[in-house]
Amino acid sequence: MRRIVIVVLSLLVVSGCVLRATGDDADPVVVGTALQTAVVGDELHVYGDISLLGDLFCPCFHLTSEGGTVVVWYDLMVDDRGEAPAVDVEGFRNGDEAVVTGEYRSTDPGTGFPVIWAEAVNPR
């Protein structure tokens, strides 16, 4: 029994590290997978299809992959720490696949979707 508990705990720790891995050498994960264990403040590295870019009343878009959707803010990201730098999304269109690295912020009370403040948006 003790061996099973140790194995399960080890797997949880390893999976948590993989989901929070960032940088160019880390593989992005699908939105739904990243959000299963994410807590506010985690840096996520996710990929998916862009939608609603230019259609919302905010500098944001939806990123969707394998049934998960997140709202990605790329400008006007301000909190008590100050303003985060804007991220260039010029050249992206709805339907494009992208990799987003950013900070998981919260769940939008109006839409119920999780929110990420982008630090980088790159083509996939």
Question: Strand 60-65 to strand 68-73: parallel, antiparallel, or no bridges (unpaired)?
Answer: antiparallel
Contact of 84 with 116, CB cutoff 8 Å:
no
**Which pLDDT score is estimated for 110?**
85
List the chain pLDDT tens, one digit each, 124 residues: 444 433 333 333 333 333 344 444 578 888 888 888 889 999 999 999 999 999 999 999 999 998 899 999 999 999 988 999 999 999 999 999 999 999 999 888 888 899 999 999 999 9
Measured CA to CA, the distance from residue 18 to residue 43 in angstroms comes to: 11
- Grouping H, G, I as helix, E, B as strand and the rest as coil, residue 31 is helix
**Which pLDDT score is estimated for 32?**
83
**Which pLDDT score is estimated for 44?**
92
**Which pLDDT score is estimated for 38?**
87
Q: Strand ranges (DSSP E) for the chain?
A: 29-30, 43-51, 60-65, 68-73, 78-79, 82-83, 97-107, 114-123
pTM metric for this prediction:
0.77
